[in-house]
Structure 1
Amino acid sequence: MRVGSANSRVIRHSGGRGLRFAGFAGSGFHIVLRGTCWLITEHQQPVELHPGDVVLAPSGAEHGLSNRPCALRELSVLMPVQPSPEPADFEFLCGAYRLTHGNAPQYLRSLPGLLTVSLDYERHPQLNALIELLEADVSSAVPGAGATVPALLDLILVHVLRRWHELNATEHAAPADTAIAAAVQQIHAAPQHQWTVARLSEAAGLPRTSFTRRFTEALGQPPMRYVTGLRLNRGAQLLRESDAPLATIAREVGYATEFAFAGAFRREYGISPGRFRRSGAAPVRIGGMSEDRAHTAE
């Protein structure tokens, strides 16, 4: 998610029916800070929320928050405004990673469109500390927020997902496939290695056909597609977070030349590595087609 743009803000709402959040490519959450409100969706019954409750949109599903039960169509789309100092019906902290025309990772897209989690802050005091830090950083213009906000979003998302899996283990957990886990562990340890299906199936101790089938079932994509996605995601992170030359980044993520890396990057994200680095924008996926495919590697 780090290749997307990280945003966070505190929203205070009073009067009217509530607020609607349009669907978007990425992942986000709301944490109710004060007051009570209702989660409104298109097809499910409203869910009452209390301070400390979390709404997680793993792949950016449309939804709303209201001070009373209603239909989603009755809510107005949120417009960006400065929070008022006046008392509010309810107040919540938002955080999101936005991927321009992209998709959230397969794992997040495999989850339900909207999750609600009631957190035990006495049992997990570290999560309360993370929320307080994020609220403080987004409530005032403090130096370094550009670095701290993405890190805090990462940690809060992980803690919320852990808690949700604890509460829904019987219903949603898939059986662990230790053979596939071993192969994935090796891919992550050395994505630059010249992996093939044969080498990965050997690492998993499985025949190639059985390995490919089980890998695809477990991760939602074939092995080499997973390897390519991981390499390019790491490449995107290095483009954003370092000033290393393109040739160096290409070698670090498993491409022999910067031109091979640039071509794969454009096919995956629809933008050249050079333009991505200069703009600071999230990659743009366009169905595997590149909007700048006529350009040479930058």
Structure 2
Amino acid sequence: MDLMSEVIRMVRVGRVSSRLIRHSDPRGVRFPAFAGSGFHIVLAGTCWLITEDQRPVPLRPGDIVLASAGAQHGLARTPRALADLPPSAMGPIPPAPGPCDFEFLCGAYWLEHGRAPQYLRALPALIAVSPDYDRYPGMRTLAELLKAEAGQARPGSAATLRSLLDLILVQVLRQWHEQHGTMPGTDDPAVAAALRQIHDHPHRQWTVGRLSDVAGLPRTAFTRRFTTLVGQPPMSYLINWRLGRGALLLRETDASLATIARQVGYSTEFAFSSAFRREYGVAPSQFRRASSAMPMAEVPATPE
């Protein structure tokens, strides 16, 4: 299984939005935490990425900031404390006219139920990437296309926006992993073997003992190594992966709950429904109805 592709499919369970912002307030702007994942692409000017517990990071045109699991952060013309930044007005608001200090694109996957996949939550909360646009010229094209689509309500714009966000997120994750190593846990052969079995065969009746056998490690050593590298114990990861796959099947197929339950490793529809409700806060049937009624992308507001 292509893990990155599967993760992208999981965040697509939510709705997407994009917005162009031209910022001229010297106080900067703060983006509150949210359930989902999002990114900013700096288009013009310079600014600083402001977080709660890390030193400010300078950003220049072309840089991309990824909030892998929706962590609170801010952007400002000069370094300052996050608490001092005024909150951003959320929603599809048209960009302010006139000159600005810096200009950037926002793209986000909003998860009304559940959280970002564990793979994304295992990454640093805020990632700043300086893409090599000479090596990856397609990144510049993607940014230009997203700018053209952001804030537009043209035929096909919802589908186009979703695809553009997917492509940009893939490129950011690829470049991050090229610079900082492989995906969480996959550089350890033992943990990678267990992850591969979970991802490819979530329906199997896995236990810590069976997964440790796959990894070729004693149970205690396997559990400790898996938790350290992946960010949560093996069975917790397995449950999250199963439910994430279940959410995808609820959104993308018309399979019955009993069929989905079996495909993701639950013996009964009741067991799957109970676990799903604990994680997502709604019953699977409600989640499916809400997903069907949910717009693919946020419709921009009309300027007055």
TM-score range, shorter chain: 0.7 to 0.9
SS of equivalent to 1:65: strand
Where does structure 2 lack aligned partners over 5 or more consecutive residues?
1-10, 293-304
Aligned counterpart, 1:253: 264
Q: Does residue 29 of the first structure (1) align with residue 39 of the second (2)?
A: yes
Matched to 1:22, the amino acid is: P
Deviates more, 1:135-144 or 1:179-188: 135-144
> In structure 2, what is the Cα distance between the partners aligned to 1:221 and 1:20?
29
- Matched with 2:223 is 212
For 2:209, which of 198, 222, 237 is the aligned residue? 198
* TM-score, reference length from structure 1: 0.82
Asked if residue 280 in structure 1 is aligned to residue 298 in structure 2, the reply is: no
Q: Over residues 214-236 of structure 1, what are the superposed CA-to-partner deviations in whole Å (9 max), with x where a residue is unaligned?
A: 22222222222222211110110
Conservation of the 8 A alpha-carbon contact between 2:122 and 2:184? no
Quick check: 2:185–2:230 contact (8 Å CA) kept in 1? no
Does structure 2 conserve the Cα–Cα contact (< 8 Å) formed by 1:165 and 1:173?
no
Q: In the alignment, which residue of structure 2 is the partner of 1:121?
A: 133
The AA in structure 1 aligned to 2:227 is T
Question: What amino acid does structure 2 have at the position aligned with 1:95?
Answer: G
Instruction: Give 1:101 deviation, angstroms.
Output: 7.1
Would the alpha carbon gap of residues 263 and 174 (structure 1) be closer, same or farther in structure 2, given more than 3 Å must change?
Answer: closer
Q: Shift in Å at residue 87 of structure 1? A: 3.8
Deviations 1:230-249 (A, max 9, x none): 11101101112222222222
Query: 1:126 Cα deviation (Å)?
Result: 2.3
Residue 271 in 1 paired to residue 271 in 2? Answer: no
Deviations 1:87-146 (A, max 9, x none): 433211111223347443334334333222211101111222322332233242233333
Letter in 1 for 2:37: S
Change (3 A) 1:11 1:123: same
CA-to-partner distance for each residue in 1:54-74, whole Å, 9 max, x for gaps?
Answer: 122223222222234444344
Alignment of 1:40 onto 2:21: no
TM-score, normalised to structure 2's length?
0.80
After superposition, the CA RMSD in angstroms is 2.8
1:243 — aligned with what?
254
Q: Residue type matched to 1:201 in 2?
A: S
Contact kept, 8 Å, 1:3 with 1:233, in 2: the verdict is no
1:156-191 Cα deviation digits (max 9, x unpaired): 223223323333459x98782112211211221121
Aligned length: 280
Long gaps (5+) in structure 1: 282-298
